[in-house]
Structures are given as structure tokens and as C-alpha cells.
Amino acid sequence: MNMENEILSLRKKLEEHNYNYYVLDNPTISDFEYDEMLKRLIKLEEENPQFADENSPTKRVGGAPLSEFEQVTHNVQMQSLGDVFSYDELIEFDQRVRQGLNGKEPEYVVEMKIDGLSVSLEYENGRFFRGSTRGDGNTGENITENLKTIKSIPLKLDCAAEYLEVRGEVYMPRKSFEEVNAEKSAAGEPLFANPRNAAAGSLRQLDSKITAKRKLDVFIFNIQSISEDSLKTHTDGLEWLSTLGFKVSPTRTVCKTMDEAYLEILKIGEMRPGLPFDIDGAVVKVNSLAQRAELGSTSKVPKWAIAYKFPAEQQETMVEDIIVQVGRTGVITPNAVLTPVKIAGSTVSRATLHNEDFIVAKDLKIGDKVLVQKAGDIIPEVVSVLKDKRTGAEQAFKMPTHCPACGEELFREEGEAALRCVSTNCPAQRMRSIIHFATRDAMDIEGLGEAVVDQLIDAGLIKTSADLFYLKKEDLLPLERFAEKSAQNLIDAIEKAKSNPLDRLLCALGIRLIGSRSAKAIAAHFKNIDNIMNATVEEVSEINDVGEKMAESLVHYFSEPETIELIKRMKAAGVNMVADEKKAGGALEGKTFVLTGTLPTLKRSEAQKIIEDNGGKVSGSVSKRTDFVVAGEEAGSKLDKAQSLGVMVITEEELLCMI
């Protein structure tokens, strides 16, 4: 066999094994045999670059990192779905469909609604050439190299169509999610909140080698466009895609009536806890493609499909104990220690109980059986106490009278639910204050997470956030987790933070009631830290976006001897204490913007900075005074309100064009 034939043969065999393993879930060779075959192909391709192929199985391990993602304009709009939550709403949808079809009988298909990220896959003459995110539905990001790492996506098709575009949902299996979070935990990194967030973060990696390690998967659920189309129904299309090697929607039940469809939805709901991936509902679609064309779409959603959203998954568990945690502002928060239970794809062993009033209202006791769910499928919360399962051995819980970290007496201000430690020497507050100081929205000191802060405090290297600016590389090297490079990286990140504008420092100090928006307003008004420290409550209250309680909190904070010493030491270390002087007459001068949804390339904080750097203002709510709403993927009620008020809605790309 000559070299070219061996390369072609290896590629074909590897793709067949990928299909058997990742689509059919029926491996035909061992992992070792597969790896040896892949290594052989990598070696041959490196030695024979004239036989290079962008869709070779070797490309699935990831390529060179990108500097940014290119924009992609979708040939067919990637619309979102309207949501329903009850049987009655399904019947209303059915009535609208029948009315739109002038009495013709619809046939429905019910599929699982995979909880992941929607993507477009495009093929020319059977070769995968581009994959992109949904973005705002019209414009997405080119993530082809990352999608190539998903082994259930075929890179070549035995397909006569000159052009084919399909839509699918990329997700992270629950097993992969647990593995990724275990690795992040061992490395002292923040954990992903849920598999969907993990999949989103993995797909938007500029380095596709990282994506390849995350073991993502995909289900294809629609044909967006095809050059030669003889298909009559949606299910015909999915069956055809399956023969081409695509991993299509795992359930696709055809139903003659909406009552049949509802029974199928209930079956899917019962399957939900045992699935190896997350779903958040079921999708009901008209099966006939001709009827779909007749029904059409609104500017946002198709009229021929609806998403039935399941309620948050709930599980029964036991409250083994209630412990309290001291926050950075001294608030004492009770937390339930639970018998570990799996909910929405991850193991839950803790749930916040908010405050004393919450415990009293629920009549919650240690030893109680409770129902727990994840609010928004993210934050664990106790929904209800199962009082009929009490045995009499349960114990009432009382909030402490003294701070568990420093022993000082706790106080509860009139009109507040929070119990608070007001000691300025509380070690727990100091630790959480330093952690907050380093976060992205504050001083953004990369590499200074909770584990590292804890280590620095234990080693006696820091007591306050000011001490960070006096650290030397030599101080870090004897510590676990630190080698030459990692120590230097942290010192460099701290040095970089010194030049942050004043508003970020104000936010980082963790002053009660003062967030990033009010910090910007205060910094812009007073210009430097000395003016702020000398300001009165009346002077601070005059600033827009700053109320009297916020002013009182600010003035009190800067009157404390500990604060004065903290600022003095930061000044001496060279930390910037002056506000950014924005140039008047920027391209967005005098314009008010609202941000909603997930933008294609920018984080919310980045978009806000761009707007403010160019003279604009960012508001948290839409009103008649709003000039523009910048909408991204999964924009919600703010987009609806903007449309109802006639406020102009723009994309991220249009925002960037404005400047």
C-alpha cells in the first residue's frame, strides 16, 4: 500500500470508529487500538504534508489558538422558540396552528429539548466547511475548529447535495461535566455552575485544544437549508440525516393530536432524571414541511413550533446540619448541609438559607426532610419542608449571638433581615474582602482565587488587600501551587492592577451598598480618592444613582481608621487613586444603552466599558428615555419591552460600527 492510500484508509477507518462509538454508542475496537491508529495517521500526515486534509480525523484534537472569532451571517435565521408551561397553553398553540392552516389537520413531532448551545453546521459537496454559534439569530461566531473536536459531528458526508446546513444543540454530558469540575476543583479554579455553562465556555475557547478535552457532544434537530430538497416531513429529514452519520434528536415521536403530544411530553419528563445529559423541556413541532411554510414565522419565533418548559427539577434530601458563613460585609448567612443529592446534572450538598427570617418562615429544623431544587437550574434552594416525615428527633436551629470568626457580638439593624458582624478585625470578613478585591469586576487580579488567598493568609503574607501590593516573587516560591512562572504571573497581575481606574478600586474595596455603577458615578464626580474621603453625606447624596443610605455607608467607611491606613498603604505602593478623564464628545455622547442577552463576542462588562469609554451611558432597565437596546442570544423581557416602546434594537456588530 502506498503512502497516500494508507493515509486515506486510516482516515476512513477512524471516522467509522468515531461513528460507531459516538453516534451508535457501540465501539468496535479498544481505546488503545484507536489511539495507536490515530498516532500513526498524525505521523504520516506530518511526514507527507502534500496529502493534508482540513477534515482529517487528526483535526479533532484541536489546532493553533485563534486571536478572535470571525462573524458569520446566517443564510437562514436561527430563531428561538416561544415557551409554554401548561397543557392549556399547548391547546392554545394547537388552536393557533389549526387556524393558520385553515382547518387542515396538523401532525406533530415531540422531541427532547436539550439544554445546550445551538449551532449551525454547513457542508459543501459533503465536506464540513463551517460551523457557527446562533448569536443573535442573524449573526453568529465562526467556531469551526472547536466544532471539529466533537467526534459525533461528521466531517465528510456521502451526500449528493451541493449545500447542506443543519442545526444542532451542543451539550456537555453529565459525566464529562463531573470530570471537568473535578479537574477545576483540584486546580483551585472556580467550578462551572451547570453543564450548559460548561458547554458554552468550552465552545468559546480560542484554543480548540482546550475544547477537545471537554468531551462535548451534539444532537442535530433540523435541516436549515438544502440545495436539492425532496423531503416532505421533518421526521423524513431526521431519518435521512441519520443515514448520513449525524447524531439526531434522541426522541422524535409523531403524534396525531395535541393530547397525544402532551402524553409524550409527560413521558419525557419522567425520563429526565435518568438521562446522561440535561434537558429543560420538550419541543412540539408541526411535522409537515409544507404546513410549516404555510404557517410561517414572526420576526422572532416560528409559528409551527413551541417549547414546553419543565418546572425546576426537585429532589428529596435531609438537612444534616445548619452552619453559618461570614460574608465580606459581615452578613451572617446560614447554609443547610444536605445529604448529597443529584439535581439538574450535578451533586448538591449545600443550600443557602438566606437569613433567620427564611428559617422561621419555613419552620426548618436540623434533621428535616426537605425538597430541594436549583433556582434557574443553577443555585440550590430549599423549596419546602416535608413536615409529615418528621420523627421527633429534629432539632430547632438558633442563629448565633456572636460572630463565629472573631467572637464579637452580632447586630441586626432595624428593618433589615441580615444579622451582621460589625468588627473591623474579623478575619473571615478580611479574607472574603480580599477575594472580592481581586475579582474580575473589581481589580481583576488573575490567578488570585479563594485557594490562593487562603494560602497567603495562612502563610502570614497578607492581612489586608493593601498587603497584596507588597508581595514579591520570592515570598510565593516556597508555597504550594507556586513555581517560577506561576509566581511571576501573579506578581505581574498585581502590578497591572495598580493602574486600574479609581472606580474599580472603589468597587473592589467592598463598601456596603456601593456597586460598580455607583462607584463609576462617585469616581466621575469627585475625580480622586482624597476628595471622596473628605466628602460629606450631603455632597455624596447629590450624585445621580447614589442614594442617602449609600452616601452614609461611603462616608462611614472612609472615616474608619483602618480604611485610612489601608488607602495610605495602597497610595505608597503606587495604586492609582485618580478617575479616568473621559474625552467629551465621544461617538456615543448623550446616548443611553441597555444590554440584554448573550452577545456574540463581548462580555456584558466589556460592552459596558466600550459604551462608557465612548461617552455613552448604560442603564439596567428599558424606558422611553433609552436610545438603544443591544440584544444578543436569548434576549428576554428587555427586548420585548424595547419593541413595545419602539426603542431601537441593535446587534453587537452595529454597536461597534457606531464607534
Q: Report pLDDT digits (tens) over 121-167.
A: 999 999 999 999 988 788 888 999 999 999 899 998 988 789 999 99
- 369 catalytic? Reply is no
Q: Are residues 98 and 217 in the same domain?
A: yes
Residues contacting 88, CB < 8 A, separation 6+: none
* Closest among 220, 253, 258, 262 to 235, alpha carbons compared: 253
Same domain, 467 and 506: yes
Q: What angle do CA 7, 149, 75 make, to 5 degrees?
A: 105
pLDDT at position 649: 87
Alpha-helical segments (H) within 158-288: 174-186, 195-203, 208-213, 234-244, 258-271
Q: Which member of 43, 59, 104, 113 is catalytic?
A: 113
Instruction: For residue 392, count CB atoms less than 10 angstroms from its CB and return exposed for 0-12, middle for 13-18, buried for 19 or more.
Output: exposed
Three cell numbers at 256?
396525531
Distance in angstroms (rounded) separating the CA atoms of residues 202 and 132: 14
For residue 85, which phi and psi values (nearest 5 degrees)? -130, 5
For residue 507, CA distances in Å to 1, 444, 503 come to: 67, 11, 6
Please give the pLDDT value at position 651: 85
Task: Give the CATH number for residue 264.
Answer: 3.30.470.30
Co-location of 503 and 552 in the same domain:
yes
d(CA 403, CA 422): 9
Are 299 and 202 found together in one domain? Answer: yes
Global pTM reads: 0.56
Residue 141 forms part of a structural domain: yes
Distance CA 475, CA 498 (A): 19
C-alpha dihedral sign at 114, 635, 193, 246: positive
Band of residue 274 on the pLDDT scale cut at 50, 70, 90? confident
**Spacing of C-alpha 353 from chain mean position:** 24
Quick check: helix, strand or coil at residue 281? strand
Give dist(CA 628, CA 649) in Å, integer.
6
Rounded CA separation 56/49 (Å): 12
Residues 211 and 284 in one domain: yes
Same domain, 238 and 370: no
Secondary structure (H, E, C), 449-481: CHHHHHHHHHCCCCCCHHHHHHCCHHHHCCCCC
| Across 23-37, 182-196, 276-290, least confident range | 23-37
What is the number of other CB atoms lying within 10 angstroms of the CB of residue 95?
11
What's the grid cell of residue 137? 439569530
Pick from 369, 402, 435: which residue ends a domain?
A: 402
What is the domain extent for residue 563? 427-573
pLDDT greater at residue 257 or residue 639: 257
pLDDT > 90 in the chain, percent: 43
Cell of 289: 414541511
Min mean pLDDT across 27-36, 177-186, 645-654 is at 27-36
- 305 and 324 fall within a common domain: no
* Of the listed ranges 73-82, 270-279, 342-351, 468-477, the one predicted with least confidence: 342-351
- Asked whether residue 560 carries a pLDDT value surpassing 60, the answer given is yes
CATH number at residue 55: 1.10.287.610
pLDDT digits (tens, 9 = 90+) for 498-534: 999 999 999 999 888 888 878 988 998 999 999 999 9
> Cell numbers at residue 99, please?
387556524
Q: Residue 103's pLDDT band (boundaries 50, 70, 90)?
A: confident
C-alpha of 339 from chain center: 27
Name the phi and psi angles at 385, rounded to 5.
-100, 130
Task: Please report the pLDDT score of residue 210 as a whole number.
Answer: 87
So what's the pLDDT on residue 375? 63
**Statement to judge: residues 304 and 328 lie in one domain:** no
pLDDT band at 46 (very low <50, low <70, confident <90, very high): confident
Q: What is the pLDDT of residues 47-60, one digit of tens each?
A: 787 777 777 777 66
Residue 86, pLDDT > 80, answer: yes
DSSP element (H, E) containing 322 = strand 314-326
| Residue where a domain stops, chosen among 507, 541, 573 | 573
Res. 10 pLDDT band, cuts 50 70 90: confident
139 DSSP β-pair partners:
73
Averaged pLDDT score across all residues of the chain: 87
pLDDT at 43 over 80: no
Does pLDDT of 30 surpass 60? yes
Q: Is a pLDDT exceeding 80 seen at residue 307?
A: yes
Q: Is residue 388 predicted with pLDDT exceeding 90?
A: yes
The pair phi, psi for residue 381, each rounded to 5°, is -145, 150
Residues 158 and 238 both lie in one domain: yes
323 in a domain, yes or no?
yes
**Which CATH number covers residue 345?**
2.40.50.140
Name the DSSP letter for residue 345: T
**Rounded Cα–Cα distance for residues 308 and 255 (Å):** 15
The reported pLDDT for the residue numbered 509 is: 93
192 pLDDT tier (thresholds 50, 70, 90): confident
Contact 394, 367 (CB under 8 A): yes
C-beta of residue 467 within 8 angstroms of C-beta of residue 565? no
Residue 200 has pLDDT above 90, yes or no: no
137 lies in the same domain as 180 = yes
583 versus 343: which is more confidently predicted? 343
Q: How far is CA 590 from CA 234, 616, 627, 628, 630, in A?
A: 50, 6, 9, 12, 16
Cα separation, 445 vs 492, whole angstroms: 9
Residue 583 pLDDT more than 60? no
Least reliable range by pLDDT among 257-266, 445-454, 586-595: 586-595
At residue 590, does pLDDT exceed 80?
no
In angstroms, the CA 438 to CA 451 distance is: 12
As for how many domains the chain has, the answer is 5
* Within-domain flag for 417: no
Tell me: pLDDT of 193 over 90: no
* Structural domain includes residue 200: yes
Q: Are residues 437 and 292 in the same domain?
A: no
Residue 494 domain-assigned? yes
Looking at residue 638, its pLDDT comes to 84
In sequence order, the 6+-apart residues with CB closer than 8 A to the CB of 278 are 114, 115, 116, 171, 174, 194, 195, 196, 344, 345, 377
53 or 170, which is more confident: 170
Q: How many CB atoms lie within 10 A of CB 45?
A: 19
pLDDT given at position 376 = 56
Is the per-residue pLDDT at 369 higher than 90?
yes
**pLDDT confidence of 555, banded at 50, 70, 90?**
very high
Q: 199 and 105 in one domain?
A: yes
Residue 75 lies in a domain: no
Q: What is the CATH number of the domain that holds 619?
A: 3.40.50.10190
Percent of the chain predicted with pLDDT > 70: 94
**In a domain? residue 74:** no
Contact 72, 142 (CB under 8 A): yes
Q: Spell out the residues 6+ positions from residue 395 whose beta carbon is closer than 8 angstroms to its own.
A: 365, 366, 367
Cell numbers for 61, please give them. 484534537
- Across 616-627, average pLDDT: 83
Instruction: Give residue 377's pLDDT.
Output: 54
Q: Look at residue 1 and tell me whether its pLDDT is greater than 80.
A: no
Residue found by looking up cell 472603589 in the block: 506
On whether residue 408 sits in a domain, the answer given is: no
Whether residue 410 contacts residue 420, with contact meaning beta carbons closer than 8 Å, is answered with yes
Which of 271, 290, 309 corresponds to the end of one domain? 309
Q: How many whole angstroms separate alpha carbon 521 and alpha carbon 519?
A: 5
